């Protein structure tokens, strides 16, 4: 607003002129340094950083703007430009017979001064006869400005006139838009590369939780936007993103409060050196330390930030800086030739140029006359050097210069021609750098990674610890030497900055509701799932035959369960099986030794010995249920079980029928025994057994049992069992056994009223009652979830029913033979029929 009113006032003061002519209104803006030449290059540098604004009372003509506080960086840029131009003027190969002039204006770090300096660069003081300007710009290119926001204004102002602008340090990505800035070039890379590299360095060190602060201008806003987008792509979470401008003290205080309350230990500061100076001042005052600063080229090597207390805040800072290039002869030039040729009033009083500017203007600069210790650290000077040579090479091509013949001086060079020529420049300067402009008008991104460290004397040094070079292949662009890095506060251990600690293997990340993705809880993997990586997002299901270990970080083979011979339960069952078989053999031996005694003869010795044989097989068939199931053992266990038990029940059934018929045969006129004599008894047992054999053969033929890994019922183990193959076959076998047992039980029950002293039928009844009770109880246990205990129940049923038959039928006889031999006489069995 002040600029507008200032301009309006100037026009009003001269509106009353009697004869309007074309002339500059108000006081002209003179360059700080200038020299005439055949071709001229303009420049805008903030040689002074603080401007004194005049008083706008609107009652008198405003005073000339003045400024103070030398910016050493920009002053060296101005000196570098003059040094490069003088080199070119001495060159016999570049613009050999053409002198290059310059007009360097001091913008004082002010938009107002910048605009007032831009106007004379665009127009010049010359006028044609009459009242029209000559329409020619006195310069062929402008080098500047040094800040992005000021460069945006400059490029928009000069753009319509196609005057090329080459900035040595304006890195805002916004200036890459060729539609808005068609005549803009720069000898520094766009912040697109630096912003992305900031995210890469944060990720490289494993910092997933950072804070972000940026300048509230084109430079900071555009750079931070690119960083935030890249951080999101790389999985980096930003706890806060705040911004302020150098004149906004209230916002600065809010930024400081945000930093104090934050949990992030790493701060990405996309600030200009001015904003960083103000932030550093507040952090030092409030003693806020311990934060790892990640900086940008604008402040990471700024000498004005080196103060007695700055290392407490910025010590260990990491950031990207423009590469240093030593310009040969420049260090001597700034303390000798520059003051003799450019500022002759440094030795004698008086005017030095056609503009008659008093030497008092240079009094604060003269203090630097003998100082050049900063020259090796001036990183932007080489960018100015490249810019000057880029313009010179463009003019060299436009003027059709040849080393022997010289240049064609009669040619009129328009600024737009220089723009087109700049797009084609491609040369190597004496420091060895290759200079060319890409499609956006920028040079290739090449940065040093620097670290704030203290040397042995306690002085702060900007030590190079790596580099970023976008011209290299992707896997070689970013190199860091972490061993040489000093961390925040001068520590040697890298700080940690995470919202949540890493989830170890065996757990997965679960996002916390309403918080960034980097804030999560570590949830243990469920049973049967694993995660073998740190910070796993999901747990992986183990394959079918595998299960998770206790730590949930590895899939291991599931435990295979089957009833083995070596475990306690298997040993116990083997013992009772062999004990039962042995006991059966002993009883058979006993009965065989007493086969001629009345009690053995009276109980159908042939069927008795066949029954004992089948019982021994029943005891032994239980052994096939123990051990690792195989194809043969699975087929054998069920068929052997079915056949031996049918043989056993057939014998019992035969004995029951014999008992019933024997007493019915005592009735007068009965000859029933001839229909069920020994031959018929053997045939009945054979017939009953053959039926079971046929059932088993069909079962084995159609769908035999087979070993099967059961994964269905238990997640943590594999039950190795014998699959039935055909369930119909199994239940047919079991049903046939049940049918014979029930029939035997009914017949024995019918014989319950036989004389009291003949207890055979009662014993058979009781044994069948036990048999049926055992197997009825077995059925619900068998259909329960499989496992070794189910197999044990089946073996128990076999042994229990076998022992029931053995003890109920044969124990009384053995008792009489061994303990009551006096009862084993024919007289004692008087009234009984010998069978």
pLDDT at 130: 47
Token pair in block for residue 499: 């919202």
Helix H, strand E, coil C: the string for 299-313 is CCCCHHHCCCCHHHH
* Region at 206 (left for phi over 0; alpha for psi -120 to 50; beta for the rest): left
Token pair in block for residue 196: 């992305």
CB neighbours (10 Å) of residue 679? 8
Phi/psi of residue 51, nearest 5 degrees: -105, 140
Order of all β-strands in the sheet with 237-244: 237-244, 209-215, 266-270, 292-295, 318-322, 446-454, 460-469, 478-480
Between 345 and 622, the more confident residue is 622
pLDDT digits (tens, 9 = 90+) for 720-751: 888 888 888 888 888 888 888 888 888 777 76
Per-residue pLDDT averaged across 375-394, rounded?
93
Rounded Cα–Cα distance for residues 121 and 144 (Å): 12
- Which residues have C-beta within 8 Å of that of residue 800, sequence separation ≥ 6? 770, 774
CB 516 within 8 A of CB 499: yes
pLDDT at 129: 45
Phi/psi of residue 263, nearest 5 degrees: -105, -15
Dihedral, CA of residue 423, residue 425, residue 429 and residue 435, to nearest 10: 40
pLDDT at 444: 92
Percent of the chain past pLDDT 90, that is, above it, reads: 39
Phi/psi of residue 68, nearest 5 degrees: -150, -175
CB 216 within 8 A of CB 312: no
CA distances from 313 to 126, 257, 277, 307, 728 (A): 54, 15, 11, 11, 84
Rounded Cα–Cα distance for residues 835 and 832 (Å): 9
Token pair in block for residue 190: 């766009």
pLDDT at 299: 94
Rounded Cα–Cα distance for residues 51 and 57 (Å): 18
- Chain position carrying tokens 């001839």: 674
Strands (E), 219-333: 237-244, 266-270, 292-295, 318-322
pLDDT at 348: 47
CB 530 within 8 A of CB 542: yes
- Chain position carrying tokens 């079918």: 544
Q: Is pLDDT above 70 for 662?
A: no
Q: Is pLDDT above 60 for 10?
A: no
pLDDT at 677: 65
- Chain position carrying tokens 């003059």: 82
pLDDT band at 539 (very low <50, low <70, confident <90, very high): very high
* Region at 514 (left for phi over 0; alpha for psi -120 to 50; beta for the rest): left
Rounded Cα–Cα distance for residues 131 and 351 (Å): 31
Rounded Cα–Cα distance for residues 599 and 759 (Å): 12
CB neighbours (10 Å) of residue 213? 25
Per-residue pLDDT averaged across 634-642, rounded?
86
pLDDT at 462: 92
Q: Is pLDDT above 80 for 211?
A: yes
pLDDT digits (tens, 9 = 90+) for 665-678: 555 555 555 556 67
Distance of CA 496 to the CA centre of its chain: 17
Lowest model confidence (mean pLDDT) among 127-141, 382-396, 417-431, 770-784:
127-141
Rounded Cα–Cα distance for residues 745 and 760 (Å): 13
* b/e code 751-773 from CB counts within 10 Å (16+ = b): beebeeebebbbbbbbbbbbbbe
Q: To the nearest whole number, what is the mean pLDDT of the chain? A: 84
Q: Is pLDDT above 50 for 352?
A: no
pLDDT at 94: 93
pLDDT at 327: 92
Q: Is pLDDT above 80 for 71?
A: yes
pLDDT band at 16 (very low <50, low <70, confident <90, very high): very low
Q: Is pLDDT above 50 for 79?
A: yes
pLDDT at 683: 84
pLDDT band at 832 (very low <50, low <70, confident <90, very high): very low
Lowest model confidence (mean pLDDT) among 34-48, 489-503, 734-748:
734-748
Cα angle value 468/45/145 (rounded, 5°): 55
Between 584 and 761, the more confident residue is 584
pLDDT at 753: 64
pLDDT band at 820 (very low <50, low <70, confident <90, very high): confident
pLDDT at 236: 93
**Closest residue by Cα to residue 573 from 619, 525, 523:** 619
Rounded Cα–Cα distance for residues 117 and 102 (Å): 14
Peptide bond into 127 cis (omega under 30): no
Helix H, strand E, coil C: the string for 511-550 is ECCCCCCCCEEEEECCCCEECCCCCCCCCEECCCCEEECC
Q: Is pLDDT above 50 for 492?
A: yes
Rounded Cα–Cα distance for residues 807 and 770 (Å): 11
**Closest residue by Cα to residue 112 from 185, 44, 162:** 44
pLDDT at 280: 94
Per-residue pLDDT averaged across 767-786, rounded?
71
Between 1 and 93, the more confident residue is 93
pLDDT band at 782 (very low <50, low <70, confident <90, very high): low
What 3-state class would DSSP assign to 507? strand
pLDDT digits (tens, 9 = 90+) for 433-450: 899 999 999 999 999 999
Q: Please spell the DSSP secondary structure of 384-452, one letter per residue.
A: HHHHHHHHHHHHHHHTT-BTTTB--TTPPPPHHHHHHHHTT-EEE-TTS-EEE--TTS-PPPEEEEEEE
pLDDT band at 111 (very low <50, low <70, confident <90, very high): confident
pLDDT at 463: 93
Token pair in block for residue 193: 């590369």
CB 582 within 8 A of CB 589: no
* Region at 786 (left for phi over 0; alpha for psi -120 to 50; beta for the rest): beta
pLDDT at 672: 57
Between 652 and 382, the more confident residue is 382
pLDDT at 124: 67
Per-residue pLDDT averaged across 296-313, rounded?
90
pLDDT at 125: 57
pLDDT at 260: 94
Q: Is pLDDT above 90 for 74?
A: yes
Q: Is pLDDT above 70 for 507?
A: yes
pLDDT digits (tens, 9 = 90+) for 220-239: 999 999 999 999 999 899 99
pLDDT digits (tens, 9 = 90+) for 188-197: 999 999 999 9
Token pair in block for residue 805: 């038959």
């Amino acid at each position: 607003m002040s600029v507008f009113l200032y301009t309006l006032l100037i026009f009003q003061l001269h509106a009353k002129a009697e004869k309007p002519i074309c002339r500059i209104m108000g006081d002209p803006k003179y360059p700080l340094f200038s020299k005439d030449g055949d071709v001229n290059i303009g420049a805008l540098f903030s040689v002074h950083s603080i401007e004194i604004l005049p008083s706008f009372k609107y009652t008198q003509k405003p005073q000339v703007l003045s400024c103070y506080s030398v910016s050493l960086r920009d002053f060296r840029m101005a000196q570098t430009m003059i040094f490069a131009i003088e080199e070119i003027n001495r060159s016999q190969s570049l613009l050999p017979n053409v002198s290059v002039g310059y007009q360097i204006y001091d913008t004082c770090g002010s938009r107002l001064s910048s605009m007032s300096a831009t106007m004379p660069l665009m127009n010049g003081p010359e006028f044609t006869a009459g009242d029209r300007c000559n329409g020619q710009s006195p310069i062929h290119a402008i080098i500047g400005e040094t800040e992005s926001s000021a460069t945006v204004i400059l490029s928009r102002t000069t753009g319509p006139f196609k005057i090329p602008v080459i900035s040595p340090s304006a890195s805002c990505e916004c200036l890459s838009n060729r539609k808005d800035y068609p005549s803009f070039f720069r000898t520094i890379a766009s912040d697109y590369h630096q912003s992305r590299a900031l995210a890469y360095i944060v990720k490289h060190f494993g910092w997933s939780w950072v804070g972000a602060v940026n300048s509230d201008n084109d430079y900071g806003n555009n750079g931070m936007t690119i960083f935030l987008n890249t951080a999101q792509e790389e999985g980096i979470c930003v706890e806060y993103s705040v911004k302020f401008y150098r004149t906004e003290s209230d916002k600065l205080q809010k930024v400081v409060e945000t930093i104090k309350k934050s949990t992030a230990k790493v701060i990405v500061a996309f600030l200009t050196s001015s904003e960083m100076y103000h932030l550093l001042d507040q952090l030092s005052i409030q003693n806020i330390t311990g934060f790892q600063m990640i900086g940008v080229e604008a402040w990471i090597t700024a000498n004005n930030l080196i103060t007695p207390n700055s290392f407490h805040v910025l010590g260990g800072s990491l950031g990207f800086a423009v590469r240093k290039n030593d310009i040969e002869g420049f260090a001597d030039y700034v303390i000798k030739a520059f003051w003799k040729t450019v500022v002759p009033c440094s030795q004698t009083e008086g005017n030095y140029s056609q503009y008659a500017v008093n030497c008092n203007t240079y009094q604060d600069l003269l203090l630097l006359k003998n100082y050049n210790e900063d020259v090796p650290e001036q990183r932007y000077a080489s960018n100015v050097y490249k810019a000057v040579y880029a313009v010179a090479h463009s003019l060299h091509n436009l003027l059709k210069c040849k080393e022997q013949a010289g240049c064609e001086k009669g040619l009129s060079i328009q600024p737009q021609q220089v723009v087109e020529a700049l797009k084609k420049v491609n040369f190597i300067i004496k420091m060895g750098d290759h200079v060319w402009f890409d499609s956006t008008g920028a040079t290739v991104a090449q940065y040093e990674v620097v670290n704030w460290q203290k040397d042995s004397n306690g002085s702060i040094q900007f030590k190079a610890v790596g580099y970023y070079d976008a011209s290299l292949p992707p896997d070689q662009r970013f190199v860091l030497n972490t061993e040489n890095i000093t961390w925040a506060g001068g520590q040697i251990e890298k700080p940690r900055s995470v919202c949540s600690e890493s989830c170890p293997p065996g757990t997965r990340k679960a996002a916390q509701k309403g918080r960034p993705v980097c804030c999560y809880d570590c949830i243990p993997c469920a049973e049967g799932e694993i995660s073998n990586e740190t910070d796993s997002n999901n747990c992986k299901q183990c394959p079918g035959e595998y299960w998770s270990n206790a730590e949930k970080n590895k899939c291991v083979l599931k435990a295979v369960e089957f009833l083995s011979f070596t475990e306690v339960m298997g040993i116990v069952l083997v013992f009772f099986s062999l004990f039962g078989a042995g006991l059966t053999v002993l009883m058979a031996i006993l009965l065989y030794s007493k086969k001629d005694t009345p009690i053995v003869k009276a109980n159908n010795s042939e069927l008795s010995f066949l029954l004992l044989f089948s019982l021994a097989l029943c005891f032994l068939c239980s052994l096939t249920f123990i051990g690792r199931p195989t194809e043969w053992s699975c087929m054998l266990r069920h068929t052997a079980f079915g056949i031996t038990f049918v043989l056993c029940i057939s014998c019992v059934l035969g004995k029951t029928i014999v008992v019933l018929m024997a007493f019915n045969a005592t009735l007068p006129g009965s000859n029933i025994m001839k229909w069920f004599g020994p031959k018929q008894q053997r045939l009945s047992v054979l017939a009953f057994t053959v039926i079971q054999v046929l059932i088993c053969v069909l079962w084995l033929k159609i769908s035999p049992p087979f070993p099967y890994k059961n994964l269905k019922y238990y997640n943590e183990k594999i039950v190795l069992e014998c699959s039935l193959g055909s369930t119909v076959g199994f239940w047919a076998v079991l049903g046939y056994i049940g049918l014979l047992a029930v029939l035997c039980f009914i017949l024995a029950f019918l014989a319950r009223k036989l004389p009291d002293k003949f207890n055979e039928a009662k014993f058979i009844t009781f044994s069948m009652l036990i048999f049926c009770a055992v197997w009825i109880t077995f059925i619900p246990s068998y259909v329960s979830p499989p496992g070794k205990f189910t197999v044990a129940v089946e073996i128990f049923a076999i042994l229990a029913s076998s022992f029931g038959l053995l003890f109920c039928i044969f124990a009384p006889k053995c008792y009489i033979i061994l303990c009551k031999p006096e009862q084993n006489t024919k007289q004692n069995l008087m009234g009984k029929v010998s069978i």
